[in-house]
Chain A
Amino acid sequence: MLAYRNGDAAAFEALYGRWRGRLYRYLAHQARDEADELFQDVWMRVVGARAHYEVAAKFSTWLFRIAHNRLMDHFRARGRGIVELVDDPEDDPAERLPTQAEEAPPALLERREAARRILDCLAALPAPQRETFLMAEESGMTLEEIAKAAGVGRETAKSRLRYALDRLRRCLDGLRGTVN
């Protein structure tokens, strides 16, 4: 990114090639219909912020921080409750009830192929957990970096990730049990 800041366009191409798929998946699994728009917007923000870029964190942390903020703006514009985006539903015992997908795994198994099961389970996760899981899978960041990118504390990020993994396991186990 420093090379690109200094005018090296090839450096941006390398960065883009390395992160385009991961970022797009991160966005697409959270805002499927507007993924292209959000994806382009995030990269334009990266391009626009190049002049002020300083090595204060890993590029992935900086990139996913931008993507996270853009997603928050998008969700706010779409009228989604800020509580859903920010608060961790796992802190509320009521949120631990099974989701709709978990309640009807046979229907999901019928509609989706095995390779896509995880995506359906992922889509059924609460937004903060899904985002944390996607950050962990796509960026390879540590908990501290995920927490920084998401703008939360480390323990919050850890909790979200743990709940996300638990839900996904239960989701996949339920699907397997249904299939079997």
Chain B
Amino acid sequence: MIERDPQLSEAYRDADHPAPSPVLDAAILDAARRAVAPPRRRRWFAWATPLATTAVLVLGLSMLLRIREEAPENLREALPPPPAIRTESAPAALPDTPAEADAQPTPAAKAIDTAGLPGPAGGATQPAGARSAPGPAPAPASLTPAAASSEDAAAQVVPEPRPFQAPVGSAPQRETLRPAPSAPVAASPGPKQADRLERAVPAADMAREAAPVFSQSRGQPKAASPAAESPEQRVETIRQLLRQGRSEEAKMALEELRRRYPAFDLPEDLRAIRRENSSGH
């Protein structure tokens, strides 16, 4: 029990005591409020979540685009080297012009194109021979610009063929040999993509050799691109043209064969035709 003196306590309470000034009160209360007030940086933290989300989205999208851009190259590197298959028995026809043939992507190339990049599948132009062929060689995506690159690469090895002149009055045949509509491809590849496609040229050439092209409209065998045909295939094509009585086309195809493969040893029957052709000129 605490000892108290009521008289002293009363006298003390009645005394004139000092008191803190209002300024002092305000200063202390303000400091106390500021001590428990939310710090200013929390206002910045309010932006942290949307900012982080935006950054993640931007990074994710850029990475996705980059992965999609590099996917065909990775796919080509992952696939085994294509086998050297020559479908000598597959009928083929010469295209109207080498440029047209070069610009025509092969089904195998389309297959890789559709596998590597999203887009409409080239099922309508997929030939039965290519489907049944064991392991068609992969080819680069977007063959339209790639063909030019592949031809540029091929031109360093073999002489550049002259433009194929279509014979006069062969419009029906031209219609037959008109390339089937191809899947949409990139219109103009960038330098990086072109470099990748140039590296993939051998695979594309082999794929063209292995995959004959069929006309979509009539189902007839369509000539693969001249650059992709082997000399043996060209010989067969020439013989087929001769059997069909299309001697002019056969002679032109023979000349094309000679220009492309000057060291190729022609069969005897074709040598005779060549001699006749030379003597005729």
Q: Do A and B actually bind?
A: yes
Q: Measuring CB to CB, which residues of chain A are less than 8 angstroms from any residue of chain B?
A: 4, 7-9, 12-13, 16, 20-21, 24-25, 28, 32, 35-36, 39-40, 43-44, 47-48, 50, 113, 115-119, 122, 136-137, 142-143, 146, 158, 161-162, 165, 168-169, 172
CB–CB B19/A21 < 8 A: yes
26 intermolecular pairs with C-beta atoms under 8 Å apart: A4-B36, A9-B32, A12-B33, A12-B36, A13-B29, A16-B28, A24-B19, A25-B18, A32-B18, A35-B18, A39-B28, A40-B24, A118-B12, A118-B15, A119-B12, A136-B4, A137-B9, A137-B12, A137-B13, A146-B2, A161-B2, A165-B4, A165-B5, A168-B8, A172-B7, A172-B8
CB–CB B28/A43 < 8 A: yes
Question: Shortest distance in angstroms between A159's beta carbon and chain B's nearest beta carbon?
Answer: 10
| Complex: A180 Cα to B7 Cα, angstroms | 18
Output the nearest chain B residue to A141 by Cβ-Cβ distance. Answer: B2
CB–CB B12/A116 < 8 A: no
Does any Cβ of A come within 8 Å of B187's Cβ? no
Contact (A7, B36) CB under 8 Å given A20-B25, A40-B27, A168-B5: yes
Contact (A142, B32) CB under 8 Å given A36-B24, A39-B20, A168-B8: no
CB–CB B18/A117 < 8 A: no
Output the nearest chain B residue to A122 by Cβ-Cβ distance. Answer: B12
Q: Measuring CB to CB, which residues of chain B are less than 8 angstroms from any residue of chain A?
A: 1-5, 7-9, 11-21, 24-25, 27-29, 31-33, 35-37
CB–CB B33/A115 < 8 A: no
CB–CB A161/B3 < 8 A: yes
CB–CB B15/A158 < 8 A: no
CB–CB A28/B11 < 8 A: no
Task: Report chain A residues within 8 Å CB of B2.
Answer: 136, 142-143, 146, 161
Q: How would you classify the secondary structure of chain B's contact residues: helix, strand, loop or mixed?
A: helix
Question: Shortest distance in angstroms between B32's beta carbon and chain A's nearest beta carbon?
Answer: 5
Task: Report chain A residues within 8 Å CB of B24.
Answer: 36, 39-40
Contact (A9, B11) CB under 8 Å given A24-B18, A28-B18, A165-B5: no
| Complex: A76 Cα to B177 Cα, angstroms | 110
Task: Report chain A residues within 8 Å CB of B37.
Answer: 9
Task: Report chain A residues within 8 Å CB of B28.
Answer: 16, 39-40, 43-44
Output the nearest chain B residue to A22 by Cβ-Cβ distance. Answer: B17
CB–CB A9/B17 < 8 A: no
| Complex: A50 Cα to B32 Cα, angstroms | 10
Question: Shortest distance in angstroms between A86's beta carbon and chain B's nearest beta carbon?
Answer: 21
CB–CB A116/B20 < 8 A: no
Task: Report chain A residues within 8 Å CB of B35.
Answer: 47-48, 50
| Complex: A16 Cα to B26 Cα, angstroms | 11
CB–CB B8/A16 < 8 A: no
Task: Report chain B residues within 8 Å CB of A36.
Answer: 20-21, 24
Task: Report chain A residues within 8 Å CB of B18.
Answer: 24-25, 28, 32, 35
Question: Shortest distance in angstroms between B42's beta carbon and chain A's nearest beta carbon?
Answer: 12
| Complex: A48 Cα to B34 Cα, angstroms | 11
CB–CB A119/B9 < 8 A: no
Partner of B36 from the list A9, A113, A143, A146 (CB cut-off 8 Å) is A9
CB–CB A117/B29 < 8 A: no
Closest 7 pairs between A and B when the two form their complex, measured CB to CB: A118-B11, A28-B18, A9-B33, A12-B32, A7-B36, A43-B28, A24-B20
Task: Report chain A residues within 8 Å CB of B16.
Answer: 113, 115-116, 119
Question: Shortest distance in angstroms between A76's beta carbon and chain B's nearest beta carbon?
Answer: 23
| Complex: A61 Cα to B36 Cα, angstroms | 23
Question: Shortest distance in angstroms between A19's beta carbon and chain B's nearest beta carbon?
Answer: 11
| Complex: A39 Cα to B20 Cα, angstroms | 8
Task: Report chain A residues within 8 Å CB of B12.
Answer: 118-119, 122, 137
- Excluding A39-B20, A44-B28, A172-B7, 8 further A-B contacts by CB distance (< 8 Å) are A4-B32, A9-B37, A20-B25, A39-B24, A40-B28, A113-B16, A115-B14, A117-B11
Question: Shortest distance in angstroms between A80's beta carbon and chain B's nearest beta carbon?
Answer: 21
Task: Report chain B residues within 8 Å CB of A20.
Answer: 20, 25
Task: Report chain A residues within 8 Å CB of B32.
Answer: 4, 9, 12-13, 16, 43, 47
